[in-house]
């Protein structure tokens, strides 16, 4: 390179500088482009909200007929579900209880295991090992629910029947175990996020006071991350209560409240399984179909509620970890 060449190449002034002021036409075009484009993008993005609204409207509208003709108290207080009898009775209490029952049972298995695994991932192993273990959890989450259901019915149910002498292999225990496996990835990843988001300072402070790892985690880390862990549990519950195929296939589908209450070996039935199982056989515009849509509304309300709770705790967890 030489100087002659350099001066040759640096000749910007030769070109007339373009005007900085917009002409009115350019101004109008830019204004319209920006606003119309933005509006278009906004409407496309708004599809998600629209979808939520449509879901709400259409599921509610279909259930209105049932809710106006049948008594709501019967729906949520009666245990007798006889939709196809001469005089149909639509008492969903046992079914609602069944939904909550298997979901809570699943949480009882999944939450402790999930927290332990989250601690393991965030505090105990190195980054490299973590990168190997994480995909495992993701694979667990990726397996389709119908495959879990298949496993529950074809493999787990006969095994439990033979091994423990249950009267039926498709029961609340079976469904709860599988739901626990399905809720685990959610619980692990959400609580791991909140635990590792706390940063090193907290742990260093605890270690410097002479605490062991156990004490640090149990007395400093987990209390500090409790919001995130609660959110994880709620999200796990949401996953479990909304799950259809597994409970339909594995829970036995008997609309009853287990008695005694801790007897997991009895069959139960859930809201999702009832909708899935009976919708196909209901005539259009029948009370029965309305009742199933009412169950859908109930499910929606439950998940909306849990969504709000988890959002609340997640925001709190974010604030606690000092991120915005």
Footprint (CB under 8 A) of other proteins, residues 14-73: 15, 17-22, 26-27, 37-38, 41-42, 44-52, 54-55, 58-59, 61-62
CB 188, min distance to other proteins, A? 8
Q: Which of residues 140-199 bind other proteins (CB under 8 A)?
A: 140, 142-151, 153-155, 165, 181, 184
* β-sheet bridge partners, residue 90: 81
64 contact partners, CB below 8 Å, separation of at least 6: 290
Q: For other proteins, what does the binding mask look like between residues 226 and 255, x meaning CB under 8 A?
A: ------------x--xxxxx---x------
To 5 degrees, how large is the angle CA 302–CA 186–CA 106? 65
CB 86, min distance to other proteins, A? 26
CB 242, min distance to other proteins, A? 3
Using CA atoms, how far apart are residues 280 and 45, in angstroms rounded to an integer? 33
Q: Report which of 16, 46, 113, 95 is spatially closest to residue 271, judged by C-alpha positions.
A: 95
Minimum CB distance to other proteins smaller for 46 or for 261: 46
**Are 117 and 292 a contacting pair, CB within 8 Å?**
no
Q: Which of residues 278-307 bind other proteins (CB under 8 A)?
A: 279-280, 284, 292-293, 296, 299-300, 303-304, 306-307
CB 55, min distance to other proteins, A? 5
CB 4, min distance to other proteins, A? 12
Q: Report which of 214, 188, 179, 216 is spatially closest to residue 112, judged by C-alpha positions.
A: 188
Minimum CB distance to other proteins smaller for 93 or for 109: 109
Residue 176: enclosing H or E segment and its boundaries? helix 172-196
Minimum CB distance to other proteins smaller for 74 or for 215: 215
Q: Calculate the alpha carbon distances from 199 to 113, 133, 176, 178 in Å.
A: 23, 21, 34, 33
Of the candidate residues 76, 116, 205, 209, the single one contacting other proteins (CB under 8 A)? 116
CB 238, min distance to other proteins, A? 6
Using CA atoms, how far apart are residues 117 and 193, in angstroms rounded to an integer? 12
Q: Which of residues 129-148 bind other proteins (CB under 8 A)?
A: 131, 133, 135-140, 142-148
Using CA atoms, how far apart are residues 89 and 75, in angstroms rounded to an integer? 9
Residues that contact other proteins, how many (by CB under 8 A): 99
Residue 89: enclosing H or E segment and its boundaries? strand 89-90
CB 98, min distance to other proteins, A? 14
- Site membership for other proteins, residue 320 (CB under 8 A): no
Give all strands (DSSP E) within 180-311, no chain letters. Answer: none
């Amino acid at each position: 390179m030489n100087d002659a060449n350099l001066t040759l190449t640096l000749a910007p002034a030769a070109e007339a500088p373009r005007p900085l002021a917009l002409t009115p036409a350019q101004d109008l075009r830019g204004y319209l482009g920006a606003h119309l484009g933005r509006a278009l993008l906004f409407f496309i993005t708004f599809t998600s909200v629209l979808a939520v609204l449509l879901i709400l409207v259409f599921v509610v509208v279909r259930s209105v007929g049932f809710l106006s003709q049948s008594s709501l108290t019967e729906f949520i207080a009666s245990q007798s579900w006889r939709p196809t009898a001469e005089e149909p009775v639509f008492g969903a209490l046992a079914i609602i209880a069944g939904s909550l029952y298997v979901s809570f049972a699943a949480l009882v298995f999944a939450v402790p295991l999930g927290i332990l695994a989250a601690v393991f991932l965030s505090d105990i192993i190195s980054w490299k090992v973590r990168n190997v273990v994480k995909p495992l959890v993701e694979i667990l989450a990726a397996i389709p629910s119908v495959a879990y259901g298949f496993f529950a019915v074809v493999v787990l149910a006969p095994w439990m029947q033979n091994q423990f002498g249950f009267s039926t292999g498709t029961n609340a225990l079976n469904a709860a175990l599988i739901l626990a496996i399905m809720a685990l990835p959610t619980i692990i990843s959400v609580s791991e996020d909140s635990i590792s988001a706390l940063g090193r300072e907290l742990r260093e402070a605890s270690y410097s006071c002479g605490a062991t790892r156990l004490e640090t985690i149990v007395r400093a880390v987990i209390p500090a991350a409790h919001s995130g862990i609660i959110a994880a549990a709620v999200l796990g519950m949401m996953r479990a209560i909304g799950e259809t195929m597994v409970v339909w296939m594995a829970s036995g589908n008997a609309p009853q409240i287990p008695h005694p209450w801790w007897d997991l070996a009895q069959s139960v039935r859930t809201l999702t399984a009832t909708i899935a199982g009976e919708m196909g056989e209901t005539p259009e515009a029948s009370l029965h179909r309305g009742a199933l849509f009412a169950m859908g509304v109930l499910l929606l309300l439950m998940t909306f509620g849990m969504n709000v709770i988890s959002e609340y705790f997640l925001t709190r967890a974010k604030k606690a970890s000092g991120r915005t």
